[in-house]
Structure formats: structure tokens, C-alpha cells
């Protein structure tokens, strides 16, 4: 009990408050996270592009300065046609002065330098110790890319990187400028001047790019070939496209195509090296149309955001726990006195109205509740006291009522046979009153030696007034009947007396008969009452004719005429109130006259006492559990003169 009470409020509070708090927190957290993330990504993108551009520009600056050398030499060759000594000196000098140039040559078309020499290409390059070395290019160079492509395109070209076997013996890229014999009538190629750069320094520049732990830069050529990459297996071996083919990654191929097309971009992809999600920023070199890519590891760059997230989530969790404890504490302050109050209430429920109230210091609803409970206790005490008084009063009234009832019933003759000395008739009557003091009455008395008065009536209403009214009626009947009046006169007078002083408009229905035991004649008046039955000696059942009188006590000047029947040996008069025929069963069906008549037809020849007891039994078994609403009264008189 204590636990569930506690859990009830604490649990509900926790559930609803924590759920809402969590929801609010989640919304705020998500928004903050997205906002900071997007802000950070935008910043990263900007700085990534800046970095890529800056690095590209650094490389371009060098490459563009390298381009100047063969361009100048080409111009010199075309304009001044210097002797071999002169241009070889020029090449040598250029190399010395250009730290970024690895080697340079002037390569002529076959037989063009001299009709005795097929291939002429004096090559100067930097040796191991930085000294300028010299060699004639020993191979058939005119089908080499660095010679053939500018020749066929008629324009200066940067070559794809290649390992120069035989002359430079390093990984290099060559800028080649075709020059022409301006003396010939048509534009005739004379040769190609070149400058080589060692790719080592390019690789150094790009490899110097370090983004976090795993970020890196890489460089791909116009064909997508890797020139630099932290995975050295790729260098000069794989292209970004072969890599994409190996991975079955169509998107990587598309990115590669954009790169070699000279586009600039910022894309999200999985890093080739670590397999983790990265951003790739790419930017072309304007000089040789290669493309620089820089990989930014997302995880590392987002580390701040992730750390912030962890902290925020941690704070959220701490707050969550704090709120949980707070709620537990608050609900505790509520539930503790409540539990105490509950105990008191239970105590009070068992009837201990002097249970000690717990002390509640707070001034909140719990205090009000305690106060109310206290009030309730006091009120209960008062109420119980009042109730006790009231019950006592009620009991007194009821006992008085019981007395009234007893008195009323006492008025009715209850001793049977009533006239034990007589055997010329048998008479039995009984009343079964309903709960309250009711208003049925019956009576029989001799006016003289021969005439017996028989009355049976039913007063409207219930309770003491009805009982009084009935008593009055009975008294009036007795009084009038003994004045030697006819039945009609007796009833007229009784009616007159009752109606005269009847402020509460009560009335009584009545059968009044004067039975001559000598002759068997019965003068009678029926005032608004159910007509009685006569069961003849042979068992025939007759309903006595009505005398069409109204109930007594309504109209002062109402007239009543009497009727007369004659009873013979063995005939029986049967009077009853509607308590018999209107008795109800649990389905609210009435006992009805039909049932009564059937009983009278079947058992009409029983002894009068047995018959009435039998009818009572039948009514009871019919009514079953339904409460009795009205008094049930019956009177039977069998005439037996012989």
C-alpha cells in the first residue's frame, strides 16, 4: 500500500517530467548539433578550398617559372639560330640558376641539326652532388611523349610523369616547347626544347599537407595517375579510375573525371587510405592541368563537435539524474505526509475518530488535505453524534408508531371464532399489514340478537393519519350502527361525519353489511370498494352486485343506497381489500381478481379460516420476493343456520 502510493505519484511525475525534459533536450541538442555541424562543415569547406588553392598556387608558381626556361630558349633558337656551343651554354647556365629545374635539353628533328647526325639532343641535368652533368640523350627520342606530343599538337605541353631511363634516371615530368625553322617557307618543326622537374619536390610539397592524424594530400595527373599519395603502391601505378574500378565505385570514377576536367570541388567520400568518411577537396593546377586532392578526415575535424556533443549529452544525463532525484525528493515530501494521512484515514475508517493527526509543517495542498482530514474527523464526530441523536429520535418515533400500529391492530377483532357460543355461522378475518401503519379495517358486531354488522374497508394513504382516520371511521360505524339505522343510513351518516372535518382529504372505501342470522338476509352498501363474492353451498361463485356508492369522506352530501342478498345454508360471503388482487410479483404482475376467483371456485367450500390462510399462502408464493406494498385484508362468513 505504502509502496504503490509512493510509486504512483513519484512514478507518474518521473515518467511525464523526464519524458518531456528528455524530449525538449533532444530537440535542443539536435538543433544545436546540426547548426554547429553545418557551421563547422561550411568553415572546413572554406578552409579546405583555401588550402587546396594555396597549395596549387605554390606548385603552379614553380611550374610556371620552369615553363619560362624552354620558352625563352625556343625563342632564342628561332630568332638567333645560335651555334651549338652558345645554346648548350645557355641551357647549362639556366640549370645552374634554376633550383627547381632538374634538367633541360634542346632536341632536334632527325638530321636537322646536322646532316651527319640523326639524333642530336644535348642534355644537362643535376647530378647527385648538385653538379651539372651532361649527356647526349642516348635513345630514339622522337617517339617519346615529351617530344612527340608537342610536335603533333604544335604547342608546349607538360608530359605525364615518367621514369627517364638512360638520361635523367629519375621520376620526372617534362615541359616541352616546340620550336620552328623560320627560314623554311612553311612552318617546319626544327626541334623541341625542354625543362624537366623532378617529381620528388612536388611530392614533398603535397606530402607536407597534414590534416589531423590521417588527412593527406595527393596529386593526380591529366590521366588520373597518382603522382603522390601516402600509399606508395599507387604512385605511378594506379590511376584514380583503376582504383574506382577495383572498388567498383562509380562515384569515385565520376569524381576523378571532374578532377581531370579541371574542376574545383568539395565532396564527401570514404577515404581510400583509412576507409573512414572524409571530405575531399580538389583543385586543378593551372600550369599542367593536374589535379590536387586533399582528404579531410571527418571524424578528426568534427572531433570538437563530437566532444561538445559528449559534454552536452553528459550534462544532459547529469541533469536528467538530478531531476530524477529532485522529483523523488519532492514526491517524497508529498507522499510521506500523505502516507501518514492515509494511515489516519484508515484508522478513522475503522471507527477510531480520535486517531492522532500527523504534524504537517508545510502550507501546501498536503497541509490543506491534513486540515481537511482533521475537519472531516471533527465533522464525522459531530455527524455521528447527530446521527446517534437522530437515530434515537427515530427509534422513539418508530416505537411510537409501533405502538400506534399495535393500538390500531388492537382495535381489529383478532379472536376466532369470535362468537364461540354460536353455531349458525362461521366467521374468520385477518389482516396482514404492510410495513407502515396502514389503513385497512374490518369489524363485526351484533347490533341486537339477530343482526350482525360486518364491515371491511381500506383507508387512502398510510401512516399515522391513515390509522387515525381508520380508527375514527371504525368508531363512527360502531356508533351509527347501534342507532338502529338501515345500512344505507349508517353509511350516509358515517360519510357525512368523515367529510365534515376532513382537511387532509382522506377517504375510505368500504363494504358495510347488516346480516340477519335468522333469515340469511344481508343488507349492504359498497362505498367505492371491490365487490365481495358469495360462494354458494354448491360451490358456485357470484360477485355481489355493486351499490354504486363512492368512497366515504369525500362528499358530505353523498347518498348511499343499500342492496340485499340472501344467504342460504352453507353459502359463504367473502370480503377482501385490493391488497389481495393488487399484490405484485417481482415482474410487477398483479395477483388479479381472476386468480382470486379461481381459488374461490376451487377451494370455496373449505372452512373459512383455512380458506383465508390458503389465500394468504397463495398470495405470498405469488409475490415471492417482491415486497408487500399494501395491507392485505380478508373476511369470510359462512352461513350455517341448520
Q: Cell numbers 518521473 label which residue? A: 14
**Pairing verdict, β 103-108 and 188-198:** antiparallel
Question: Does 272 participate in binding other proteins (rule CB under 8 A)?
Answer: no
DSSP 24-76: HHHHHHHHHHHHHHHHHHHHHHHHHHHHHHHHHHHHHHHHHHHHHHHHHHHHH
Measured CA to CA, the distance from residue 216 to residue 206 in angstroms comes to 8
Hey, what's the cell of 63? 611550374
Stretch that binds other proteins, among 50-58, 79-87, 222-230, 525-533 (CB under 8 A): 222-230
Closest to other proteins by CB, 153 vs 407, is 153
Question: Does 480 participate in binding other proteins (rule CB under 8 A)?
Answer: no
User: For helices 365-411 and 303-349, what crossing angle results, to 10°?
Assistant: 30
Question: Does 231 participate in binding other proteins (rule CB under 8 A)?
Answer: no
Stretch that binds other proteins, among 234-242, 270-278, 305-313, 488-496 (CB under 8 A): 234-242
Q: Yes or no: say if 272 and 217 are a contact pair by the CB < 8 Å rule.
A: no
Question: Does 169 participate in binding other proteins (rule CB under 8 A)?
Answer: no
Backbone angles phi, psi at 477, to 5 degrees: -60, -45
Closest to other proteins by CB, 78 vs 245, is 245
CB of 114 to other proteins, least distance (A): 23
Stretch that binds other proteins, among 34-42, 218-226, 358-366, 608-616 (CB under 8 A): 218-226
- The alpha carbon torsion through 22, 25, 31, 32 (nearest 10 deg) reads -140
Question: Does 242 participate in binding other proteins (rule CB under 8 A)?
Answer: yes
Number of residues lying near other proteins (CB under 8 A): 28
Closest to other proteins by CB, 197 vs 373, is 197
Question: Does 527 participate in binding other proteins (rule CB under 8 A)?
Answer: no
CB of 191 to other proteins, least distance (A): 17
Which of residues 84, 232, 237, 368 is near other proteins by CB under 8 A?
A: 237
DSSP 544-591: PPP--BPPBTS-TT-----EEEE--TT-EEEEE-HHHHT-B-TT--B-
Question: Does 246 participate in binding other proteins (rule CB under 8 A)?
Answer: yes
Question: Does 260 participate in binding other proteins (rule CB under 8 A)?
Answer: yes
Closest to other proteins by CB, 67 vs 458, is 67
Question: Does 227 participate in binding other proteins (rule CB under 8 A)?
Answer: no
Question: Does 325 participate in binding other proteins (rule CB under 8 A)?
Answer: no
CB of 145 to other proteins, least distance (A): 5
x/- letters, 487..516, toward other proteins (CB under 8 A): ------------------------------
CA 442 to chain centre: 72
CB of 44 to other proteins, least distance (A): 27
Q: Map the footprint of other proteins across residues 76-105, applying CB under 8 A.
A: none
**DSSP 3-state of 196:** strand
Which of residues 70, 217, 256, 553 is near other proteins by CB under 8 A?
A: 256
Measured CA to CA, the distance from residue 638 to residue 162 in angstroms comes to 150
Which of residues 257, 339, 536, 614 is near other proteins by CB under 8 A?
A: 257
Question: Does 232 participate in binding other proteins (rule CB under 8 A)?
Answer: no
Q: How many Cβ atoms are within 10 Å of 19's Cβ, its own excluded?
A: 10
* Nearest residue to 41 (alpha-carbon basis) of 209, 281, 212, 309: 281
Return the H-helix or E-strand segment holding 202: helix 199-207
Look at phi and psi of residue 351 and say left if phi exceeds 0, alpha if psi is from -120 to 50, else beta: left
What end-to-end distance do the CA atoms of the chain give, in Å? Answer: 84
Question: Does 433 participate in binding other proteins (rule CB under 8 A)?
Answer: no
Closest to other proteins by CB, 81 vs 247, is 247
Closest to other proteins by CB, 165 vs 542, is 165
Q: Yes or no: say if 287 and 64 are a contact pair by the CB < 8 Å rule.
A: yes
CB of 235 to other proteins, least distance (A): 9
CB of 291 to other proteins, least distance (A): 11
Stretch that binds other proteins, among 96-104, 217-225, 491-499, 626-634 (CB under 8 A): 217-225
Alpha helices in 289-362, H assignment, sequence order? 298-301, 303-349
Closest to other proteins by CB, 88 vs 242, is 242
CA 470 to chain centre: 68
Measured CA to CA, the distance from residue 158 to residue 170 in angstroms comes to 16
Measured CA to CA, the distance from residue 577 to residue 527 in angstroms comes to 12
Question: Does 482 participate in binding other proteins (rule CB under 8 A)?
Answer: no
CB of 79 to other proteins, least distance (A): 27
* Nearest residue to 119 (alpha-carbon basis) of 133, 109, 131, 128: 109
DSSP 287: T
Closest to other proteins by CB, 100 vs 245, is 245
* Nearest residue to 572 (alpha-carbon basis) of 594, 612, 526, 604: 604
Q: Yes or no: say if 168 and 126 are a contact pair by the CB < 8 Å rule.
A: no
Question: Does 338 participate in binding other proteins (rule CB under 8 A)?
Answer: no
Question: Does 240 participate in binding other proteins (rule CB under 8 A)?
Answer: yes
Hey, what's the cell of 447? 347490533
HEC-encoded secondary structure of 422-474: CCCEEEEEEEECCCCCCCEEEEEEECCCCEEEEEEEEECCCHHHHHHHHHHHH
* Contact residues for 196 (Cβ-Cβ < 8 A; gap 6+): 101, 102, 103, 104, 125, 164, 168, 172, 173, 174, 175
Question: Does 519 participate in binding other proteins (rule CB under 8 A)?
Answer: no
Closest to other proteins by CB, 220 vs 491, is 220
Q: Report CA Rg, the chain.
A: 66
CB of 90 to other proteins, least distance (A): 28
Stretch that binds other proteins, among 256-264, 462-470, 523-531, 591-599 (CB under 8 A): 256-264
Q: Map the footprint of other proteins across residues 118-157, applying CB under 8 A.
A: 143-145, 148-149, 151-153, 157
Closest to other proteins by CB, 63 vs 552, is 63
Question: Does 241 participate in binding other proteins (rule CB under 8 A)?
Answer: yes
Question: Does 224 participate in binding other proteins (rule CB under 8 A)?
Answer: yes
CB of 48 to other proteins, least distance (A): 23
Q: Map the footprint of other proteins across residues 8-67, applying CB under 8 A.
A: none
Question: Does 624 participate in binding other proteins (rule CB under 8 A)?
Answer: no
Question: Does 451 participate in binding other proteins (rule CB under 8 A)?
Answer: no
Question: Does 176 participate in binding other proteins (rule CB under 8 A)?
Answer: no
Which of residues 55, 56, 105, 159 is near other proteins by CB under 8 A?
A: 159
Burial of 422 (0-12, 13-18, 19+ CB in 10 A): middle
Closest to other proteins by CB, 284 vs 532, is 284
Question: Sign (positive/negative) of CA torsion 577, 581, 584, 588?
Answer: negative
Residues lying near other proteins in the complex (CB under 8 A): 143-145, 148-149, 151-153, 157, 159-160, 222-225, 236-242, 245-246, 253, 256-257, 260
Amino acid at each position: 500500500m505504502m509502496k504503490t502510493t509512493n510509486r504512483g505519484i513519484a512514478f507518474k511525475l518521473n515518467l511525464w517530467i523526464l519524458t518531456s525534459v528528455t524530449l525538449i533536450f533532444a530537440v535542443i541538442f539536435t538543433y544545436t548539433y546540426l547548426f554547429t555541424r553545418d557551421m563547422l562543415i561550411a568553415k572546413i569547406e572554406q578552409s579546405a578550398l583555401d588550402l587546396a588553392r594555396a597549395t596549387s598556387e605554390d606548385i603552379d608558381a614553380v611550374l610556371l617559372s620552369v615553363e619560362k626556361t624552354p620558352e625563352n630558349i625556343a625563342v632564342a633558337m628561332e630568332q638567333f639560330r645560335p651555334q651549338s656551343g652558345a645554346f648548350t651554354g645557355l641551357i647549362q647556365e639556366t640549370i645552374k640558376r634554376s633550383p627547381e629545374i632538374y634538367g633541360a635539353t634542346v632536341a632536334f628533328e632527325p638530321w636537322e641539326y646536322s646532316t651527319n647526325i640523326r639524333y642530336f639532343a644535348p642534355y644537362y641535368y643535376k647530378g647527385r652532388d648538385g653538379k651539372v652533368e651532361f649527356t647526349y640523350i642516348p635513345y630514339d627520342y622522337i617517339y617519346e611523349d615529351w617530344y612527340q606530343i608537342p610536335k603533333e599538337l604544335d604547342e608546349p605541353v607538360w608530359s605525364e610523369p615518367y621514369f627517364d631511363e638512360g638520361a635523367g634516371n629519375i621520376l620526372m615530368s617534362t615541359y616541352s616547347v616546340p620550336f620552328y625553322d623560320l627560314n623554311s617557307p612553311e612552318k617546319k618543326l626544327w626541334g623541341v626544347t625542354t625543362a624537366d622537374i623532378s617529381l620528388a619536390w612536388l611530392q614533398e610539397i603535397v606530402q607536407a599537407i597534414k590534416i589531423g592524424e590521417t588527412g593527406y594530400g595527393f596529386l593526380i595527373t591529366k590521366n588520373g595517375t597518382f603522382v603522390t599519395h601516402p600509399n606508395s603502391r599507387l604512385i605511378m601505378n594506379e590511376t584514380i579510375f583503376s582504383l574506382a574500378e577495383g572498388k567498383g565505385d562509380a562515384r569515385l570514377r565520376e569524381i576523378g573525371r571532374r578532377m581531370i576536367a579541371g574542376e574545383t570541388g568539395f565532396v564527401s567520400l570514404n577515404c581510400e587510405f583509412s576507409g573512414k568518411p572524409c571530405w575531399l577537396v580538389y583543385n586543378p593546377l593551372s600550369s599542367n592541368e593536374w589535379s590536387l586532392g586533399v582528404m579531410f578526415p571527418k571524424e578528426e575535424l568534427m572531433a570538437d563537435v563530437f566532444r561538445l556533443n559528449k559534454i552536452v549529452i553528459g550534462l544532459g544525463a547529469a541533469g536528467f539524474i538530478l531531476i530524477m532525484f529532485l522529483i523523488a525528493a519532492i514526491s517524497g515530501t508529498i507522499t510521506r505526509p500523505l502516507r501518514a494521512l492515509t494511515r489516519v484515514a484508515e484508522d478513522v475508517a475503522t471507527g477510531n475518530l480520535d486517531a492522532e493527526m500527523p504534524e504537517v509543517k508545510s502550507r501546501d495542498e498536503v497541509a490543506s488535505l491534513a486540515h481537511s482530514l482533521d475537519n472531516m474527523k471533527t465533522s464525522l464526530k459531530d455527524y455521528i453524534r447527530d446521527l446517534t441523536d437522530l437515530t434515537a429520535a427515530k427509534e422513539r418515533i418508530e416505537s411510537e408508531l409501533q405502538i400506534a400500529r399495535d393500538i390500531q391492530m388492537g382495535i381489529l377483532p383478532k379472536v376466532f371464532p369470535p362468537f364461540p357460543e354460536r353455531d349458525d355461522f362461521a366467521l374468520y378475518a385477518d389482516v396482514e399489514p404492510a410495513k407502515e401503519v396502514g389503513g385497512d379495517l374490518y369489524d363485526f358486531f351484533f347490533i341486537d340478537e339477530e343482526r350482525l354488522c360486518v364491515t371491511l374497508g381500506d383507508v387512502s394513504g398510510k401512516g399515522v393519519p391513515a390509522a387515525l382516520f381508520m380508527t375514527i371511521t371504525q368508531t363512527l360505524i360502531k356508533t351509527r350502527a347501534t342507532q338502529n339505522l338501515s345500512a344505507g343510513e349508517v353509511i350516509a351518516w358515517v360519510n357525512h361525519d368523515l367529510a365534515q372535518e376532513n382537511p387532509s382529504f382522506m377517504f375510505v372505501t368500504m363494504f358495510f353489511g347488516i346480516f340477519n342470522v335468522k333469515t340469511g338476509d344481508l343488507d349492504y352498501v359498497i362505498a367505492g370498494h371491490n365487490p365481495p363474492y358469495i360462494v354458494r353451498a354448491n360451490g358456485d361463485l357470484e360477485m355481489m352486485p355493486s351499490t354504486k356508492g363512492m368512497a366515504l369522506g369525500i362528499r358530505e352530501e353523498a347518498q348511499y343506497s343499500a342492496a340485499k342478498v340472501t344467504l342460504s345454508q352453507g353459502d359463504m360471503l367473502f370480503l377482501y381489500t385490493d391488497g389481495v388482487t393488487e399484490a405484485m410479483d417481482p415482474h410487477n404482475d398483479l395477483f388479479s381478481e381472476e386468480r382470486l376467483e379461481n381459488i374461490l371456485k376451487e377451494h370455496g367450500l373449505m372452512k373459512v379460516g383455512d380458506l383465508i390462510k390458503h389465500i394468504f399462502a397463495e398470495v405470498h408464493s405469488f409475490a415471492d420476493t417482491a415486497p408487500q406494498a399494501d395491507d392485505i385484508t380478508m373476511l369470510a362468513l359462512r352461513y350455517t343456520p341448520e
